[in-house]
Every structure is written in structure tokens, then in C-alpha cells.
Amino acid sequence: EAQVTQNPRYLITVTGKKLTVTCSQNMNHEYMSWYRQDPGLGLRQIYYSMNVEVTDKGDVPEGYKVSRKEKRNFPLILESPSPNQTSLYFCASSPTPLGAKNIQYFGAGTRLSVL
Amino acid sequence: GENVEQHPSTLSVQEGDSAVIKCTYSDSASNYFPWYKQELGKRPQLIIDIRSNVGEKKDQRIAVTLNKTAKHFSLHITETQPEDSAVYFCAANSYNTDKLIFGTGTRLQVFP
């Protein structure tokens, strides 16, 4: 089954404790992206990747890191989480970069609380 | 920077009525405009999209229109049903940077 898998689905942590949210897709998609969703603000792009070893900042990259060492995986790293990073996070993938064919498939989401 | 404004933020309609959600984008180079539906506790799912070389697209009860000159695009849902109740997001790609900019969402409630 074609899917985008995020783990964990729920996470409660404390300020400053490094964490990683994993994202994996089995559709051989080139484009992957991370979004955060906050009430009243919609979905805001954190980072995106157009292919292996190619990543770029979205609108709200501060406090986050990503890597794309393999095509299928795109982990989101919070080196020193802070309470303002409490949010619902979605990973998404697309067959090609958005300019060409833009259907994005979203993961189920990760609800993160930073105390 | 690039921006997408979406209105209204909430919309309540009677079952069977039509619903219209409007978005305005700022990047004149945008060429792709998807609409996503997000049911409570679920992930966003693409329901319809339109490219800048097309003025209107229909898929059963939903349609999207695009006015490139005014940088407006709209989602139209006809004969609304309770299962249409959800949050709807518009988006526009930023052609030069390959980012996707989302609107802030519209919560649609369809009352039986």
C-alpha cells in the first residue's frame, strides 16, 4: 500500500531534549516536505527536499533541522525543543518537485507537546 | 514574502445549499492551486486542483475557478451534504522556490 508513515504519532517531551520525528514514503517520490499546523495559522512549511541531499528552508525553519540521505526518508530534528514548537506536524511527499506535478500525499501527523 | 489569504474562516450552510470559499495569492508567478479537505483528526487530502492555464475545473459537486489577473481562486461546493463538513485549505505554489503556501483554512459546517 502506497503511504507516508510518520513516527511517533504522539510525543510529549521537555524543553531542550533533542528529538527526531521520522518520515518514510514507499512511493519513490522525489519531493518531501514537513509542515506544522497551528490553530488559525493553517499549514506552514518548515523544510522541503527536492531529492537526496537537496533540502531547502520553508517559511518557518527556525529551530528545526532535516536530512535526506535516502530517497524514502526525511526525518525532522528538533535539537533543543521549546514550548512554541508544540504543534501538529505533517510530513508529505510528491512524485516530483511541485512545479511539475504537484499532488502531495500527507502522513497521518505527529502531535508534539513540549513542556 | 509570498502570501495566501483565505475567506471566510468559518462557513455554515444548510444541507443542499452551495458553499463558496475564496483565496487570494500574492506571487504572480504561482501556477498551481490545490485545495485540501481535512476532516477532524485526519490528514489533509487533495480534493481538486487547478493550473494557471485553466480558468475553471469541475469534479462532480466541486469546482474551482481561477482569475489570474486578479490573483483570486475559489472553491465552489454545490448540493452540500453533512459529510462535506471539514476544514478546507487553499494553497498556491511559489514557482521560483517550489514552496507551497497554504491559506489559513475555512471551517465548513453543513447542517442537516
How far is residue A47's CA from residue B3's CA, in Å, rounded to a whole number? Answer: 17
Q: Are A59 and A109 in contact (CB under 8 A)?
A: no
Band of pLDDT at residue A6, cut at 50, 70 and 90: very high
Residue with more model confidence, A41 or B37? B37
Most confidently modeled range among A29-33, A73-77, B90-94: A73-77
**Å between B29 CA and nearest CA of chain A:** 11
A50 contacts in B (CB within 8 Å)?
A: 98
Mutation choice for B interface testing from A30, A36, A37, A89 by most B CBs within 10 A: A37
How far is residue A35's CA from residue B65's CA, in Å, rounded to a whole number? Answer: 26
Question: What would the 3-class secondary structure string for chain A be?
Answer: CCCEEEECCEEEECCCCCEEEEEEECCCCCEEEEEEEECCCEEEEEEEEEECCEEEECCCCCCCEECCCCCCECCEEECCCCHHHCEEEEEEEECCCCCCCCCCEECCCEEEEEC
Contact check, Cβ <8 Å, B32/A43: no
Question: Mind listing the pLDDT tens digit for each residue in B16-59?
Answer: 999 999 999 998 888 889 999 999 999 999 999 998 888 899 99
Q: Are B35 and B49 in contact (CB under 8 A)?
A: yes
Band of pLDDT at residue B93, cut at 50, 70 and 90: confident
How far is residue B31's CA from residue B72's CA, in Å, rounded to a whole number? Answer: 12
Average pLDDT over residues A52-77: 96
